[in-house]
Structures are given as structure tokens and as C-alpha cells.
Amino acid sequence: MKKALALIFCLIGWFALIGQYYLAIENKTTSILETNFRFFTYFTILTNIIVSIYLTIVAFKKDNNENSGILTAITVYITIVGFIYQIILRGTWQPTGFQRIIDELLHSVMPVLMIIFWYLFENKTALKYIQIPKWMIFPVFYLIIILIRGNFSGFYPYPFVDMTKLGFTKVLTNSLWITIFFIGLSMLYIRIGKALKR
């Protein structure tokens, strides 16, 4: 069952990513190179790539008895994608047609599927609060990269980290709140995991 679900979920993930890439190229307003750079600076895209790669590995790997907390970390990342989109970003645009389908797959469907997968298959006995700093490496590194690149290119993938419009202090404050949310969500998953394993 685990491999079958992983295969189905990863196919949905790859379909959404390929669809979004097609739309990005089809509707590009900059050079191909810049369009590609921008595509891979979205946390949504990078996280869905990580999710799809993880699920693909699970679907085809012989030994799936990992207990490193990687599934929980990835689930936290994609949950954040879902939350931030639904709460902050959904009202900023109204996609239609194929773009709306892809948008919902990336921001709504994949987070729900990964939460289900986590609930069913995570080795919850291995979850520890001490793992959270390690889980934070990816989002913190991501934030640093997009701020550095944005400083040179003028492009920021999300309005709440747009240094040119908000200024350093506001972006720092927004980043701090997101970090707090990340830590709190990670602790919640661990707490739920500890409760479920009983």
C-alpha cells in the first residue's frame, strides 16, 4: 500500500510541476534563462520537487524503513506551502483554466496528500524535538538565497519578502514570524506523532 500510494502521489506531483513549468515558459515575460531562475526561486516549486523526489524514491526503493524524520520535515515544508498560500497569497490572484488546476494541485492537493502519507507511514517513534534545527536548514538557506538574488535582480518570489517595497526591517519581521510558525508547526507534528504512537 505504501509503495502504491507513493507512486500515485508522486505522479500527481510531477504532473503539477511539469504543468507549472510549461505555463511559466508559455507565459514568460523575461528571457528563458531568467524565467528558469525565477521558476526555481519559488518555495512552492522547490518543496513540491522535494516531495515528488521523496515519493518517487519510496515508490521504487526496496527498503523503506527509514527513521530519520525526513518525512516529517518534508511534510512540514509542504504544509507551510499550503498554509501561506491559503492565508496570504490566494487572494492576490485568480488563476483560471489549466493554471487553476495546477495551482490547486501544488498548493492544496499535494499538502493534503503528504499529510495523509505522513499519518499513515511516518515512523513516529523516531521523532525528536532536537531534529527541528536540522529541518530548518533548507528554509533558512532558501531565504538567504532569494534575498541575495533579489538584491541583484530586483525579483522577489513572494510579496512578504520584497525588500524593495517593504524594506529590510519589515522583511526581517515577516521572516521571523514565518520561522516561528515553522518551529511551532514542527513541534506540533512531533507532538501529534508522539500522541499517535501511543
> What was the pLDDT predicted at 88?
86
Q: What angle do CA 9, 6, 158 make, to 5 degrees?
A: 45
Q: What angle do CA 131, 43, 117 make, to 5 degrees?
A: 55
> What was the pLDDT predicted at 92?
81
What are the average pLDDT values for consecutive 10-residue runs of the chain, which has 198 residues?
92 97 93 93 96 94 74 96 90 88 96 95 87 94 93 90 92 93 94 81
Q: Taking the CB of residue 198, how many other CB atoms lie within 10 A of it?
A: 5
Q: What is the DSSP letter of 29?
A: S
Distance (Å, whole) CA 148 – CA 152: 7
Residues 6 or more apart whose CB falls under 8 angstroms from that of 85 comprise 44, 107, 108
Q: What is the DSSP letter of 31?
A: -
| Locus of grid cell 509542504 | 78
Backbone phi, then psi, for 24, in 5-degree steps? -65, -45
Residues 6 or more apart whose CB falls under 8 angstroms from that of 196 comprise 119, 124
Q: Which of 114, 133, 146, 144 is nearest to 39 (CA)?
A: 146
Q: How far is CA 121 from CA 17, 124, 181, in A?
A: 24, 8, 24
> What was the pLDDT predicted at 67?
64
Helix/strand/coil for 128:
coil
> What was the pLDDT predicted at 195?
86
Distance (Å, whole) CA 124 – CA 128: 9
